[in-house]
Amino acid sequence: MYEAETEGVVVRAAPTFLPQESDPDAGRWFWAYTIEIENRSARPVRLLTRHWRIAEATGVTHAVDGDGVVGKQPLLRPGEAFQYTSGCPLNAPSGMMQGIYRMLEPETGRIFEVEIPAFALDSPLSTQRAN
């Protein structure tokens, strides 16, 4: 489990390699990752956008930007958490992901960024590692 906290918002990441979705002979490796966002602050926050930076062991990097996560822009009141699972294909047996969520404080209109911790995408099928 990987974890980061920014202004009372905790983000936890847990990646899982999916061999049944991977085809190393075709140069395809696939991971699922579960993210939990917990609001430990004293104010409600809404997730607006995401920005991911994905680095493959080969040195290739990708950026992924979009509104919300899995089609949602959850509002988290103090003490609440939101969890979702998504996936990431790579053309290498190893890589890393990290990013930011852009959050809104609805009561004040303030927008701020929350760190998504860097986490490893390492296939058990290879000894090559990006990290």
What's the pLDDT score for residue 118? 98
**Domains of the chain: total:** 1
Question: pLDDT per position in the chain (131 positions), as tens?
Answer: 899 999 999 999 999 999 999 999 999 999 999 999 999 999 999 999 999 999 999 999 999 999 999 999 999 999 999 999 999 999 999 999 999 999 999 999 999 999 999 999 998 876 554 45
- What pTM was computed for the model? 0.92
pLDDT at 81: 98
The answer to whether the beta carbons of residues 94 and 126 sit under 8 Å apart is yes
Question: Is there a domain that residue 86 lies in?
Answer: yes
Give the pair of three-digit tokens for residue 106.
């609805």
Range of the domain at 95: 2-122
Residue 6 maps to a domain: yes
Q: In DSSP terms, which residues pair with 45 in a beta bridge?
A: 76
State the Cα–Cα distance between residues 16 and 12, nearest whole angstrom: 14
**Tokens linked to 126:** 């290879």
Contact at 8 Å (CB) between 49 and 65? yes
- Domain of residue 65, CATH code: 2.60.40.1470
